[in-house]
């Protein structure tokens, strides 16, 4: 239960927070907030001080219906930013959020140590070979279609079975290439209704290869705020509640906008989990 992030061993018997750093103008909650290197570095410093283990930098918005952008635009957003963060925070563990193998490779060369692929290798046939060559941990997320089409692809005969088959094929292919540091992301909100998201959360331990670490990304998503008739800006408390549920169901990593609150949830959960029985 460790990840080898370019020589840094991350203990996955403990739970971790991954900070979301969107370098996009149109992400669903924080798009357009990081307009300069100074703003990016301030947020990185805040997140690291709050206890983030990983920093997840992305230059392609994957919110439902987001505008598709070309690879060159995504590259221009993320590669200089990774280099900037690595220069100021050389010990930071940076994840690149991309489904393009060329961007993943450039990002690792610039200082990233983890690849977070929302497509699970389905958008770029060279991704798995690139991960194997780079020998960095890989996050495989479940999704259908693209951010532009996924809302219309929510019909499943058997949700868990289909997701397990999806992960089975990918894990086997990655293992055959010599990739062993694999994290599974069920893809909450990606081609799934609110009811399907909660069913998946409730059955998280039944995912294929449950011995592999699971990343849960629910931070301020519609599955959190829609039941409350609220919005993303008012979803922090509800997000924390769902984070506790995810930790109870076995999540190893929480991908979050609000690191301090996520780390507090993890701390309380760990205290609860380790408490001994009360002796009368």
Q: Which CATH number fits domain 2-274: 3.20.20.20, 3.40.710.10, 3.40.228.10, 3.40.50.1360?
A: 3.20.20.20
Name the active-site residue from 255, 260, 263, 267.
255
Q: Does the structure show a pLDDT above 70 at 148?
A: yes
Q: Is 221 a catalytic residue?
A: yes
pLDDT at 29: 52
Mean pLDDT of 69-87: 94
Name the active-site residue from 15, 77, 221, 263.
221
**Are the C-beta atoms of residues 85 and 91 closer than 8 Å to each other?**
no
Q: Does the model's pTM come out above 0.85?
A: yes
41 CB-near residues (< 8 Å, 6+ apart): 84, 85, 88, 89
pLDDT at 47: 97
85-133 pLDDT, tens digit per residue, is 999 999 999 999 999 999 999 999 999 999 999 999 999 999 999 999 9
End-to-end Cα, the chain, rounded Å: 36
3-class DSSP assignment, residue 20: strand
pLDDT at 26: 59
* Structure confidence at residue 171 as a pLDDT band (50, 70, 90): very high
Give the angle subtended at the CA of 28 by the CAs of 17 and 45, to the nearest 5°.
40
pLDDT at 153: 82
Highest mean predicted confidence (pLDDT) among 63-77, 140-154, 198-212:
198-212
Q: Please report, for the chain, the start and end positions of each structural domain, with discontinuous segments joined by +.
A: 2-274
Q: Which residues of 216-243 are buried (b: 16+ CB within 10 A; e: fewer)?
A: bbbbbbbbbbeeeeeebeebbebbbebb
In the sheet that holds 215-216, the strands lie side by side as 182-185, 138-141, 114-117, 93-97, 54-58, 16-22, 253-256, 215-216
């Amino acid at each position: 239960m460790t990840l080898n992030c370019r020589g840094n061993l991350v203990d996955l018997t403990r739970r971790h927070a991954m900070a979301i750093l969107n370098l996009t103008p149109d992400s669903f909650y924080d798009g357009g907030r990081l307009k300069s290197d100074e703003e990016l570095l301030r947020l990185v410093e805040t997140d690291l001080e709050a206890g983030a283990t990983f920093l997840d930098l992305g230059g392609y918005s994957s919110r439902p219906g987001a505008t598709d952008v070309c690879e060159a635009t995504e590259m221009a957003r993320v590669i200089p930013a990774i280099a900037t963060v690595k220069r100021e925070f050389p010990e930071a563990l940076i994840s690149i959020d991309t489904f393009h193998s060329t961007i993943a490779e450039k990002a690792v060369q610039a200082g990233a140590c983890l690849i977070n692929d929302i497509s699970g290798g389905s958008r770029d046939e060279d991704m798995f070979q690139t991960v194997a060559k780079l020998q960095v941990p890989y996050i495989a997320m479940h999704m259908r279609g693209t951010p532009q089409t996924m809302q219309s692809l929510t019909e499943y005969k058997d949700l868990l079975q289909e997701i397990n088959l999806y992960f089975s094929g990918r894990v086997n292919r990655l293992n055959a290439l010599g990739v062993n540091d694999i994290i599974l992301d069920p893809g909450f909100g990606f081609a799934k209704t609110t009811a399907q998201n909660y069913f998946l959360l409730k059955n998280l331990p039944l995912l294929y290869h449950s011995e592999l670490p699971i990343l849960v990304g629910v931070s301020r998503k519609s599955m959190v705020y829609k039941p409350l008739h609220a919005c993303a800006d008012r979803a922090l408390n509800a997000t924390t509640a769902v984070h506790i549920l995810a930790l109870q169901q076995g999540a190893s990593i929480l991908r979050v906008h609000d690191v301090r609150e996520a780390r507090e949830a993890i701390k309380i959960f760990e205290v609860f989990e380790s408490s001994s029985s009360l002796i009368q």
